[in-house]
Amino acid sequence: MQHAHPTPPADLDDGAERFEHLLARAVRRAEQAVCVADVTLPGEPLVWVNDAFTVTTGYAAEEAVGRNCRFLQDGVEEAGLDARGPAAQVRELIRHGRGGTVVIPNRTRDGRVFHNELSLSPLVEPDGGVRYYVAVQRDVTDRVEARAARDAAQRARDAVRAETDALADQIQRTLVPAHPPRVPGYEVAMRYQPATRADGSRGEVSGDFYDLLSTREGGLLAVIGDVSGRGPRAAATTTALRWAARGLSRATGSPAALLSAVGDAAADALDDRFATLAAVRLPARPDPAAPAAGVVALAGHPQPVLLPAVGDPRAVGVPGTLIGLFEGVETTDAPVELGPGDSLVLFTDGVTEAADPHRRLLDDAGLHAALDAVRERTGPGAPDRVADAVVAAVAAHVAGGPVDDLTLVVVHATAAA
């Protein structure tokens, strides 16, 4: 037996009609601007706007209905704004019958430009087509202008950082020799990397420097140093130390005496900073089969590492006092012998103090392990292979994290062919 659907009572129809009337009143009186466009008519005109539309735009219903909402974009270009991109997004949504949100610059009746956030919704007909689009509007000028201000501030910061980095590069180039001297019997490799931040960008100009000079006797003098801190003041101090070392190097053949003289000469430039220095003097090598009996002195600097052609790496030199913290410098000349095929590795603390994500340092043990792993220690390109092994060990240890200033000089005593 089939049951017929009962006919709704009249009062239910009256309730639905009252609800529709209530809904229309609610939309008309809503604080959010609402408008409806008929997208099937030529020009896709507005066919209805609520009271808040008039409050937001200044246009009464009789001035807006019958016009395409593009009239709200008239004159926005005079304020330096471009509505063409957002307008194209609106047209694309309507063409495909989709809803979406678009922020578009509009102009009120009295000429004020504001940023209008349109939330567009298609009203789907029973046949699946779309005749009307409802747009709920919201003035988001404060939000857009705040975002623009943040973007402008970020661009300014990026520009300042780029300019600072360029200046740092320019200053950094003055802290190292443009072209190391060619001294018979020796090959040299240098690596000079500024600190990087956690985001990968470079830090301020460093306090690291090195210098390489040929001596009057035909040998080689290598100086490496590190000034505390970084930035323009550190760079100025570093420059003073480098040129003091260069100027005084002709006055003495003792690395220890040189470091003491540099400490005295640069005391005023250091101000409240301190520095570490290392100097190595190596003799001329007319006979490539003979060892080079050199001298090394340290003023608070990490001990260089001797990497023999065959055998284990070992630290050389006698530790001395920092430059700038105490009156005078206590440093000692210590012998260092480079046999044919041996390399001497001078470095700043950015190597051994490189920290992994758990803040564990590479330390001397890690450096020695990296050097011990170098298999081709002699022959053409040997100092570059040694330098690259150290840089690679630091990079692997920090695992992509920030690094401190890293300076490395490898002096290699060439072997007879």
* CB of 311 closer than 8 Å to CB of 265: no
Per-residue model confidence (pLDDT) at position 411:
96
pLDDT of residue 24: 64
Is the distance from CB of 285 to CB of 185 less than 8 angstroms? yes
Number of domains, the chain: 2
The number of CA neighbours under 13 Å toward the Cβ of 159 is: 6
d(CA 201, CA 10): 75
Domain end, chosen from 145, 167, 187, is at 145
Which of 106, 122, 336 lies closest to 220, judged by CA?
336
Predicted pLDDT at 319 = 94
What integer pLDDT is reported at residue 172 of this predicted model?
64
Query: Is 159 within the bounds of a domain?
Result: no
Q: How many Å is the Cα radius of gyration of the chain?
A: 38
- Give the pLDDT score at 168: 62
Question: Domain range for residue 91?
Answer: 23-145
Quick one: pLDDT at residue 1?
A: 39
Q: Is the same domain home to 110 and 258? A: no
Does residue 335 lie in a domain region? yes
Rounded distance between C-alpha atoms, residue 408 and residue 189, angstroms:
8
pLDDT tens digits, the chain, 417 residues: what are they?
334 444 444 454 565 566 566 666 667 777 889 999 999 999 999 999 999 999 999 999 999 999 999 999 999 988 888 889 999 999 999 999 999 999 999 999 999 999 999 999 999 998 989 999 999 999 999 999 999 889 888 888 888 777 766 666 666 666 667 777 889 999 999 998 877 666 655 656 667 889 999 998 999 999 999 988 777 677 777 888 888 888 899 888 999 999 999 888 877 777 778 889 999 999 999 998 899 999 999 999 999 999 999 999 999 999 999 888 777 789 999 999 999 999 999 999 999 999 999 999 999 999 999 999 999 999 999 999 999 999 999 999 998 776 778 899 999 999 876
In the block, tokens 């600190």 appear at 195
Q: For residue 158, which amino acid is it?
A: D
Running DSSP on this structure, what letter comes out for residue 300? B
Beta strands in 53-99 (DSSP E): none
CATH code of the domain containing 205: 3.60.40.10
Give a yes or no: residue 136 inside a domain.
yes
Q: Is there a single domain that holds both residue 188 and residue 131?
A: no
Comparing CA positions, the residue from 195, 200, 196, 204 lying closest to residue 168 is 204
What is the three-state SS of 174-200?
Answer: CCCCCCCCCCCCEEEEEEEECCECCCC
